[in-house]
Amino acid sequence: MQRVETIADIDNVRLTRFERAGSRPVSRTCQSPPPADKALQRAHGRLRQAAYRCSLDRKAAPESGTVGMSLLTAAVKLTKAEIDAGSIRIIDMAFDDLISRGYSRREVEAVFRRIKRRLAASPAHSG
């Protein structure tokens, strides 16, 4: 065999000299499953999500978004006199996390202000 210099030459030799026989025996030990129907996969996903949410309801367990909103609500309800180092640290960590994920600090602050205004306008607000 001659000396092969480039990747293209190697691939050319491989394709021209080492072609597999089309009539060779099947090497699979088991049949591959048929390709899944995308619509069926999505329907199964919706079913799993509904079952998960139903189990949360039965256990009276909140979703993570509910916990997040509760923490945000608690943070914006704090008065200046109630804010301590721990509260500031938690809020700073939340800001840092959101900013590190690509959110604008100005927009995050706008969300805090919007929630604070909504709570202040709410008749159930006791603060």
- Return the domain boundaries, the chain: 64-121
The kind and range of the H/E element at 121 are helix 105-121
DSSP secondary structure code for residue 30 in this structure: S
Which residues fall within 8 angstroms of residue 119, CB to CB, at 6 or more apart?
73, 76, 77, 125, 127
Q: pTM, whole model, 2 decimals?
A: 0.56
In the chain, at which residue ranges do the beta strands (DSSP E only) sit? none
Residue 113 amino acid letter? R
Give the pLDDT band (50/70/90) at residue 2.
Answer: low
Residue 91 near residue 103 (C-beta atoms within 8 A): no
Q: Is the pLDDT of residue 45 over 90?
A: yes
Residues of the chain with pLDDT > 90: what percent? 56
Per-residue confidence at 35, pLDDT binned at 50, 70, 90? confident
Instruction: Read off the DSSP letter of residue 5.
Output: -
User: What is the residue type of 104?
Assistant: S
